[in-house]
Amino acid sequence: MKILYLFFIAFPLLISLAGAQQESSAAKDISVAFEKNYNSDDINAVFALFSPEMKLALPLNKATNFLNGLKAQAGKIVKRTFIRYENGVYASYKTQFEQGIFLLKLYIDSTSMIGGLFIKPYIEMNSPLLERNISKLILPIKGEWTVIWGGDTKEQNYHVVSTAQKNAFDLVVTNEDGKSYKTDGKINDDYYAFGKDIVAPCDGEVVLAVDGIKDNLPGEMNPIFMTGNTVVIRTANKEYLFFAHFKQSTVNVKEGQSVKQGQILGQCGNSGNSSEAHLHFHIQNVENMNVATGVKCYFDKLIVNGQSKTDYSPVQKDIIRNK
Q: What is the pLDDT of residues 203-247, one digit of tens each?
A: 999 999 999 999 999 999 988 888 999 999 999 999 999 999 999
Query: Considering the chain, what percentage of its residues have pLDDT values greater than 70?
Result: 91
Point out the least confidently predicted range of 80-94, 150-164, 219-233. Answer: 80-94
Q: Is this prediction's pTM over 0.75? A: no
Q: Where does residue 40 rank: exposed (0-12), middle (13-18), buried (19+ CB within 10 A)? A: exposed
Q: What integer pLDDT is reported at residue 87 of this predicted model?
A: 63
Point out the least confidently predicted range of 30-39, 43-52, 185-194, 289-298. Answer: 289-298
Which range is most confident: 94-108, 212-226, 249-263?
A: 249-263
Confidence category of residue 285, pLDDT binned at 50, 70, 90: very high
Q: What integer pLDDT is reported at residue 100 of this predicted model?
A: 85
In this prediction, residues 182-190 reach a mean pLDDT of: 97
> Is 162 a residue whose pLDDT tops 80?
yes
From 262, 239, 258, 237, select the one nearest 323 (Cα to Cα). Answer: 262
> Is 3 a residue whose pLDDT tops 70?
no
Q: What integer pLDDT is reported at residue 125 of this predicted model?
A: 61
Q: What integer pLDDT is reported at residue 120 of this predicted model?
A: 80
From 28, 322, 315, 23, select the one nearest 159 (Cα to Cα). Answer: 315
In this prediction, residues 257-283 reach a mean pLDDT of: 97
Question: How many whole angstroms separate alpha carbon 86 and alpha carbon 29?
Answer: 18
Sorted by sequence, the CB contacts under 8 Å of residue 178 that are 6+ apart come out as: 146
Domains and CATH numbers, the chain: 5-121 (3.10.450.50), 145-322 (2.70.70.10)
